[in-house]
Amino acid sequence: MAKSSEKKSDTYKQFVVFRVGNHEFGVDIHQTREIITVDQLTFLPETPDFISGVINLRGEIVPVIDLQKRLNLDDSFQEEQLENKIIITEVNDNLIGIKVKDVKEIIRLQETEVESPPEIVKNIKKDYITGVGKLEKQLIIFLNLDKILSVQEVAELDDIDFDQEV
């Protein structure tokens, strides 16, 4: 017997799901270069408060953004971490690390399972959000890492002298 030709969209996307504070977010896997664990960040003076510091990634100095601070998420339940999970991404030809609480999993969703961002978004600038994923028991907000920093902020990071000893 022939199979039904009722195919909806068979186009899938993969997302890296992670926790920031007490919230779960995801990013398109194509926006991530790698995920690493580091036990220490090097502090940089006179940088915005959402810059946690820098890391040495195979000889390249990479600034690390604290996503919890960047998104102004409540940190009253923040736990002390011995290790930092860092999602390495490339924004405007610059390597940037995104510090998150924990990387949970990689999920695969059909395009029909991802909706446009809602009109009213609390606690997050709408520009950061690419959509909302509908899972069985939860919703996951998908972020656009390219828009986590403004063009001006990326330019300011370019101006920081990372050639100093780290």
For residue 94, which amino acid is it? N
Backbone conformation region of residue 148, classed left if phi is above 0, alpha if psi is from -120 to 50, else beta:
alpha
In tens, the pLDDT along 109-129 reads: 888 888 887 766 555 556 778
Domain residues of the chain, as ranges?
13-159
Please count the residues of the chain.
Answer: 166
Model-level pTM? 0.77
Rounded distance between C-alpha atoms, residue 114 and residue 105, angstroms: 17
Structure tokens at 47: 């940088």
In tens, the pLDDT along 4-23 reads: 444 445 788 899 999 888 88
Cβ proximity of 18 and 104 under 8 Å: yes
Terminal CA-CA length for the chain: 66
The fourth-level CATH superfamily of domain 13-159 is CheA-289, Domain 4 (2.40.50.180)
pLDDT of residue 97 exceeding 90:
yes
